[in-house]
Chains A and B, each alone.
Chain A
Amino acid sequence: MRVLSNVNIAGMRRFLEEQLPGQHMDFAPYDQVAQEFLDPSSPLNTERPKFVLVYLEGFRLFQQHSGEISEFAQAVDLVETRLKEVLEPIGAYLQANPERRALINTLAYPMSNGCHSLDRNTRFHTAMIDAFNLGLSRWRSERRIDKLIICDWAAAAARLGSASLYDERLWYIGRIPLSPRGQEELAALYARSIRALSGSSKKVLVVDLDNTIWGGVIGEDKMQGIMLGEDGLGKVYRDFQMQLRRLKDRGFLLAIASKNNEEDVDQVFAEHPMMALTYDDFVARKIGWNPKPESIAQLSKELALGLDSFVFVDDSPIERGAVKQALPDVSVPEFPSDPFTLNSWFESVTAEYFDTLMQTNEDKHRVEMYKADIRRQQESGKFADLEDYYRNLEMEMRIWVNHREQVQRIAQLTQKTNQFNLTTRRYDVSDIERFIASPNVRVYDTELVDRYGSNGIVGVIIAKIKGEAAEIDTCLLSCRVIGRKVEQAFFSFVADDLAKTGVKEIVAEYIPTTKNAPAEGLLDQLGFGGVDGLRRLRLSPGKVPGGIGMYCPDYIRVEAKAQ
Chain B
Amino acid sequence: MTLDTRIVDAVTRVFNVDPGAVSADLKIGDVSEWDSLGQLNLIVEIESVFGTRFDGEQLISLNSLTEIQKELADRNLLSSQV
Contact = CB atoms under 8 A, between A and B. Distances in A.
Interface stretch (B1-9, B24-32, B40-48, B67-75): B40-48
Contacts of A169: 55-56, 59
A179 B47 CA distance: 11
A170 B16 contact: no
A11 B41 contact: yes
A176 interface: yes
14 contacts: A10-B37, A11-B41, A14-B14, A14-B16, A167-B44, A169-B55, A170-B40, A170-B59, A173-B40, A173-B56, A180-B41, A180-B45, A180-B48, A181-B48
Interface in B52-68: 55-56, 59-60
A11 B37 contact: yes
Interface string A169-200: 11011101001110000000000000000000
Contacts of A11: 37, 40-41
B36 interface: yes
8 shortest interchain CB distances as A-B pairs: A169-B56, A180-B44, A169-B59, A170-B40, A11-B41, A174-B40, A173-B59, A10-B37
A173 B63 CA distance: 14
Contacts of B45: 180
A172 B40 contact: no
Interface in A208-240: none
A174 B45 CA distance: 16
Task: Please indicate which of the listed interface residues A14, A169, A173, A179 has the most CB atoms of chain B within 10 Å of its own CB.
Answer: A169
B44 A173 contact: no
Size bin of chain A's contact surface: 10 to 19
A179 B55 CA distance: 15
A169 B48 CA distance: 15
A170 B60 CA distance: 10
A173 B60 contact: yes
B37 to A, nearest CB: 6
Contacts of B59: 169-170, 173
Nearest to A10: B37
Contacts of B14: 14
A126 to B, nearest CB: 26
Contacts of A10: 37
Task: Please indicate which of the listed interface residues B16, B40, B59 has the most CB atoms of chain A within 10 Å of its own CB.
Answer: B40
Given A11-B37, A173-B60, 4 more contacts: A11-B40, A14-B14, A167-B44, A169-B59
A176 B60 CA distance: 14
Nearest to A17: B16
A173 to B, nearest CB: 6
Contacts of B55: 169
A173 B56 CA distance: 8
A179 B60 contact: no
B56 A172 contact: yes
Contacts of B40: 11, 170, 173-174, 176
A190 to B, nearest CB: 19
Contact of B36 (A167, A174, A180): A174
Contacts of B16: 14
A10 B39 CA distance: 13
Contacts of A179: 44
A179 B53 CA distance: 13
Contacts of B44: 167, 170, 179-180
Nearest to A171: B56
Contacts of A174: 36-37, 40
Nearest to B60: A173
A172 B41 CA distance: 14
A145 to B, nearest CB: 33
